[in-house]
Amino acid sequence: MAQTGNKLSKQALSKSVSRHAWALQWCWNYERMQAAGYAYAMVPIIKELYDTEEDQCRQLERHMVFYNSHPGGSALIHGADVALEESYQPEVGDNLKVALMGPLAGIGDTIQAVLVMPPFNIIAAGLAAEGNWLSVLASTGPLLALFVVKWPLFYYGYKQGVNVIQDVSGTGTLDKLQTAAGILGLTVIGGFVPSILAGLKIKDSFLAQQLVNPETGEVVQSTPGIQKALDGILPYLIPILVTFFCYYLVKVKKVSPLKTIVILAAVAFVAGAFGVM
């Protein structure tokens, strides 16, 4: 093994972290997912630590195994792994990758998919519906922030090395944040179901009966529309029923989102085509 014994230069670190941030998923595929992207990010590191191109390629091949995590969480793994490569403990680094990619994917996905995106997306969609251009910022800003955070996460992981494992296992603040985001999300959705779906109404003309005076053609009596009766029970009853029907399909019946869409679209189409709604 032609190890150089060098300490890593600042340039190699910054090159590697940028490559990881931008290109981790550029070769994403069903077979080994982020493997090639990860190996690509390790090139500047491996080049400084090993002399001959032949050795460099052997080391990179080590990284061409199945790998998949949340890109943000992966930045932390990447930092720690680089520290281990630098001290020539590649086996420890490889094990660390396997050990942490699952848990960090879980934490990263929770932060992104439950904590950050739903509240912001709901708010963005609402602002957009009101014609507010702030919606553009609300729908793209959060992900930009998650992108930028990969740099500090990498350097934190690099400083901690193997110790990141302890950091990952003890994250209590996450639960608290999740609770707060859940409450925010549900409050907003509560208002959104009626406001966004307000167009779902029974047409006044549907099944309306009018008593017409046969001599004058005058309307003497007409039954109130079905919608009026529904509004008397609870405002926005149909939006609520439709949402919980979909919720029932997705959550209880485990129907896939796409199938749920098709079912709902079919029902809605028929209702529209026959003049019910």
Listed residue (69, 65, 66, 98) closest to 81, CA to CA: 98
Contact residues for 205 (Cβ-Cβ < 8 A; gap 6+) = 225, 275
Return the closest-CA partner of residue 119 out of 182, 175, 176.
182
3-state helix, strand, coil in the chain (%, to 5): 70, 5, 25
Is 199 or 214 the residue whose CB approaches other proteins more closely?
Answer: 199
The DSSP symbol for 68 reads: -
Other C-beta atoms within 10 Å of 197: how many?
15
Q: How far is the CB of 57 from other proteins (least distance, A)?
A: 5
Is the CB of 18 or the CB of 162 nearer to other proteins? Answer: 18
Please report the DSSP string for 118-138 in residue order.
HHHHHHHHHHHHTT-THHHHH
Both tokens of 69, joined, read 């995590």
CB of 39 vs other proteins, minimal distance in Å: 7
Closest distance to other proteins from the beta carbon of 224 (Å): 20
Cα dist. 277→68, 200, 271 in Å? 46, 7, 6
Tokens of 181: 């985001």
Q: Among residues 118 and 157, whose Cβ is nearest to other proteins?
A: 118
Residue 67 Cβ, how far from other proteins at the closest point, in Å? 12
CB closer to other proteins, 104 vs 161: 104
Task: Give me the least distance between CB of 217 and other proteins, in Å please.
Answer: 26
Residue nearer to other proteins on the CB measure, 139 or 160: 139
